[in-house]
Amino acid sequence: MMEELIKKAEEKGINVEDLIIFALSKEDPQEGVKLRLVLAERYMTEAEEYLKKGDAVQASEKTYKVAEEIVKALAEKFNLSEYQQAVKEDRWHTYTLANAAIKLSLKLGDWVKNGWNSAYTLHVWGFHEAKLDLDSVKNLLQDVRKMLEESKKILP
Q: What is the pLDDT of residues 111-127, one digit of tens each?
A: 999 999 999 999 999 99
Share above pLDDT 70 across residues of the chain, in percent, rounded to a whole number: 94
Instruction: For residue 67, give the nearest of 39, 87, 88, 109 by alpha carbon.
Output: 39
pLDDT at 27 over 80: no
CA gyration radius, the chain: 15
Q: Do 88 and 134 form a contact (C-beta atoms < 8 A)?
A: no
Average pLDDT over residues 76-91: 93
User: 105 in helix, strand or coil?
Assistant: helix
Residues 6+ positions from 141 with CB-CB distance below 8 Å: 47, 48, 51, 59, 63, 118, 122
Q: What does the alpha-carbon distance between residue 133 and residue 122 come to, in Å, rounded to a whole number? A: 10
Taking the C-alpha atoms of residue 33 and residue 67, their distance in angstroms, rounded to an integer, is 14
Q: What is the mean pLDDT of the chain?
A: 92
Averaged pLDDT, 5-29: 72
